Amino acid sequence: MPEGFVHLRSVDPTIAQDIRYAGADNFTGRPVPGYDAAECVLVDGAAEALRQVQAALKAEGLGLKVFDCYRPAQAVSAFVRWAKQPANPNLKRAYHPRVAKNRLFPAYIARRSGHSRGAAVDLTLVDLSPASAQASRDGGICRRPRGRAIARADLDMGTGFDCFDRLSRTDAPGISKIQRENRALLVRVMRQHGFRNYAGEWWHFSFRPEPYPETYFDFPVPPAPR
């Protein structure tokens, strides 16, 4: 990895990781090029800030789960190629039921992603108690492919990760009171530690200031050292 990048696991191993693009459980239905390991990699300042967020949430019995962190530029190029292929009905129902596949760019998926600069992260909140008081669901209109259940510890955010729909907007009308409160809590605690939410996706945050604001990296995500 370039200087200044770290594995989140080496900074805080208590943060849950569900790196979707390293496997088939994502909107493309297959592992994405560039993800040689299911690991969160970030610039060191962003990783340290997430460690602080995790510590603050622990006092409330909550924690973080990350879905995506640094994203190689080659992965973004793979998304562009995917968008030109015929739609898969199961994946459409799970990730973009009300938006045609050829309309996802640039409305929902950027052709150059801030993730490739190493300071952006997609994440949610989880309940750390042994028996979660909140029965979570993938929420909203997005329905995951059969057999792919969301973890019960995930707080209910109203939609799942990578639901390409207007309901995924952080301040979207039409979600429940508890879903709105959960989103507001995530935004608040992340903001307190230097992260800015992207209004179009409740799960997407960027760390400020970025150390590489003009650089889009393409090194593959490597396994974490053991």
105: its two tokens: 């760019």
| Active site members | 201
Please report, rounded to a whole number, the percentage of residues in the chain having pLDDT higher than 70. Answer: 91
CA pair distance 220, 33, nearest whole angstrom = 8
pLDDT of residue 54: 98
CA pair distance 48, 50, nearest whole angstrom = 5
Mean per-residue pLDDT, 7-11: 98
pLDDT tens digits for range 168-194 = 999 999 999 999 999 999 999 999 999
5-7 and 195-197 as β-strands: parallel, antiparallel, unpaired? Answer: unpaired
pLDDT of residue 143: 63
CA pair distance 61, 128, nearest whole angstrom = 5
Does the predicted TM-score (pTM) go above 0.85?
Answer: yes
Of the pLDDT bands very low, low, confident and very high (cuts 50, 70, 90), residue 226 is confident
Mean per-residue pLDDT, 150-173: 88
CA pair distance 65, 2, nearest whole angstrom = 24
pLDDT of 150 strictly over 90: no
- Cβ-count burial of 179 within 10 angstroms (0-12 exposed, 13-18 middle, 19+ buried)? buried
CA pair distance 73, 31, nearest whole angstrom = 15
Q: Are 208 and 196 in contact (CB under 8 A)?
A: yes
pLDDT of 138 strictly over 70: no
Instruction: Say what the alpha-carbon torsion angle 44, 192, 66, 196 is, to the nearest 10 degrees.
Output: -90
Write down all domains in the chain, each with its CATH number in brackets: 5-207 (3.30.1380.10)
| Order of strands, sheet of 62-68, starting from the edge strand that comes earlier in the sequence | 16-17, 62-68, 120-127, 204-207, 195-197
CA pair distance 46, 66, nearest whole angstrom = 13
pLDDT tens digits for range 25-44 = 999 999 999 999 999 999 99
Tell which residue, 118, 119, 103, has the closest CA to residue 217: 118
* Higher per-residue confidence, 156 vs 110: 156
pLDDT of 137 strictly over 90: no
pLDDT of residue 69: 98
pLDDT tens digits for range 197-224 = 999 999 999 999 999 999 999 999 999 9
